[in-house]
C-alpha cells in the first residue's frame, strides 16, 4: 500500500507539472497574441422579447490564431485573469468596443449600447476609471452607449469598493448590468443598493425552463422581483421559440441567444445593422 501511495503521488505530481507547463505555454502565446493583434471582438444582438427590436449588443472576445482556428474565451480569460494580462486585454476590449460602436453610431445604423464584460481583476485595478474615460474620449462615444457587464460575484466581492466604483461609473453616464444573475448568492434587495440598470439571467436557468418547473419558477421569480425593483431583465442563452414564448408570458424585457443570432464578427454585425436600418 505504501509503495502504491508513493507511485500515485508521483503520478499525480506529473500531471500537475504537465498542466502547469501547458498553462505557462498558453500564457506565453497569449502575450504574443496581444502584441500580434490576434484578438477580435464578436458582437451578439440583444432584442426585445415582444417586438423583436434590437435593444443592445454584447461584445465577446475571440482569440484568432494564425492557423485560422479560434480559442474561445473560456479557455484563455481565466488564465489572463490569473497572470494579470486581463488588465491590458480588458483595456483593449473597452477601446475597441467604443471605437466600433462610435463608428456604427456615426454611420447612423446603431442606436443601442454595447455591453462589455469586466472581470474582477480589472474592477480592482485602480486605473479602471481612467481606462474607461480614455476609451470614451478617444472614440468620442457618448457614455450612455457603453454598458458594463459585471458578474454577481464581482459585485458582491467587496461591496464598499463596488458601491464607490459603480457610483463613479454612473456619474460618467454609463449603463450597468449584472451578468450571470442567479449563479451567485446575492439577494436582489442587496443589489438594489447598487446603481444597477439591468440583470442578465444566467443561461443555466433558461436552458430548461420549458421542461423543468423549478427552473421556470426561478426564472419567473427573478423577472418579477427585478421588475418590482425597476430593473430591466435580459435572458441569456435563448435557443428555442418555446423558451421565448414563456419569457414573453413572464414579461421578460429582452433576450440574447442563438434563436436570434450567434455572436457575429464586426463586419457581419455591420451588415445586419444596415439591413435592420433599411427595413
The rounded distance, in Å, linking the Cα atoms of 214 and 53 is 30
CA 214 to chain centre: 26
Strand boundaries in the chain, DSSP class E: 39-48, 54-64, 70-71, 114-117, 146-151, 175-181, 198-201, 232-235, 254-255, 264-265
User: Which of 61/112 has CB closer to ligand C2E?
Assistant: 61
- Give burial (CB, 10 Å; 0-12/13-18/19+) of 233: buried
From the list 45-53, 158-166, 184-192, 236-244, the region that binds ligand C2E by CB under 6 A is 236-244
The C-alpha angle with vertex 137 and arms to 107 and 155, in degrees rounded to 5, equals 100
Q: Distance (Å, rounded) from C-alpha 45 to C-alpha 71? A: 21
Residues in contact with ligand C2E, counted by CB under 6 A, come to a total of 22
Among residues 60, 112, 178, 219, the one that binds ligand C2E under rule CB under 6 A: 60
Site for ligand C2E in 6-25 (CB under 6 A): none
Closest CB 257 distance from Ca ion, rounded Å: 11
- For 249, the grid coordinates are 408570458
Contact residue for ligand C2E among 74, 160, 241, 267 (CB under 6 A): 74
By CB under 5 A, is residue 147 in contact with Ca ion? no
Which residue lies nearer to ligand C2E by CB, 110 or 256? Answer: 256
Under the criterion CB under 6 A, does residue 208 sit at the interface with ligand C2E? no
- Share of the chain residues as helix, strand and coil, in percent rounded to the nearest 5: 55, 20, 25
Would you count residue 117 as binding Ca ion (CB under 5 A)? yes
Please check whether residue 147 is in contact with residue 136, taking contact to mean a CB–CB distance below 8 angstroms.
no
- Asked whether 262 and 44 are in contact (CB, 8 A), the reply is yes
Residue 180 engages Ca ion in binding (rule: CB under 5 A): yes
Q: From the list ligand C2E, Ca ion, none, which binds 29 (C-beta under 5 to 8 Å, kind-based)? A: none
User: Judged by CB under 6 A, does residue 77 bind ligand C2E?
Assistant: yes
Please, which residues have CB within 8 angstroms of residue 181's CB and are 6 or more apart in sequence?
152, 199, 200, 201, 202, 222
Instruction: Report yes or no: 247 and 267 within 8 Å, Cβ to Cβ.
Output: no
Considering only 30, 47, 55, 93, the residue that binds ligand C2E (CB under 6 A) is 93
Decide whether 33 or 198 has the Cβ nearer to Ca ion: 198
Length of the chain: 279
Least distance CB 178 / Ca ion (angstroms): 9
- The nearer residue to ligand C2E, 2 or 37, going by C-beta atoms, is 37
Between 245 and 264, how does the x/- string for binding to ligand C2E read (CB under 6 A)? -----------xxx----x-
Q: How far is the CB of 110 from ligand C2E (least distance, A)?
A: 19
Per CB under 5 A, residues contacting Ca ion are 117, 149, 179-180, 236
Per CB under 6 A, residues contacting ligand C2E are 44, 60-61, 72-74, 77, 90, 93, 117, 119, 179-180, 203, 236-239, 256-258, 263
Amino acid at each position: 500500500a505504501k509503495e502504491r501511495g508513493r507511485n500515485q503521488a508521483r503520478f499525480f505530481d506529473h500531471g500537475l507539472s504537465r498542466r502547469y507547463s501547458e498553462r505557462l505555454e498558453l500564457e506565453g502565446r497569449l502575450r504574443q497574441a496581444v502584441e500580434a493583434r490576434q484578438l477580435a471582438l464578436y458582437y451578439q444582438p440583444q432584442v426585445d422579447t415582444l417586438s423583436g427590436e434590437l435593444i443592445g449588443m454584447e461584445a465577446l472576445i475571440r482569440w484568432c490564431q494564425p492557423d485560422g482556428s479560434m480559442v474561445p474565451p473560456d479557455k484563455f480569460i481565466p488564465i489572463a485573469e490569473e497572470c494579470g494580462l486581463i488588465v491590458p486585454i480588458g483595456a483593449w476590449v473597452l477601446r475597441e468596443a467604443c471605437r466600433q460602436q462610435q463608428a456604427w453610431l456615426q454611420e447612423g445604423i446603431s442606436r443601442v449600447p454595447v455591453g462589455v464584460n469586466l472581470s474582477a481583476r480589472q474592477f480592482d485595478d485602480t486605473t479602471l476609471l481612467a481606462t474607461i474615460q480614455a476609451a470614451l474620449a478617444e472614440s468620442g462615444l457618448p457614455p450612455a452607449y457603453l454598458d458594463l457587464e459585471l458578474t454577481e460575484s464581482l459585485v458582491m466581492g467587496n461591496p464598499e469598493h463596488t458601491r464607490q466604483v459603480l457610483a463613479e461609473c454612473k456619474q460618467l453616464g454609463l449603463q450597468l448590468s449584472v451578468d450571470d444573475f442567479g449563479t451567485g448568492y446575492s439577494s436582489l434587495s442587496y443589489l438594489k443598493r447598487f446603481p444597477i440598470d439591468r440583470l442578465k439571467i444566467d443561461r443555466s436557468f433558461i436552458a430548461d425552463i420549458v421542461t423543468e418547473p423549478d427552473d421556470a419558477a426561478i426564472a419567473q421569480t427573478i423577472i418579477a422581483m427585478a421588475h418590482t425593483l425597476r430593473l430591466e431583465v435580459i435572458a441569456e442563452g435563448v435557443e428555442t421559440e418555446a423558451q421565448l414564448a414563456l419569457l414573453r408570458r413572464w414579461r421578460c424585457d429582452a433576450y440574447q441567444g442563438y434563436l436570434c443570432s450567434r455572436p457575429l464578427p464586426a463586419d457581419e454585425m455591420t451588415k445586419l445593422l444596415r439591413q435592420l436600418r433599411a427595413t
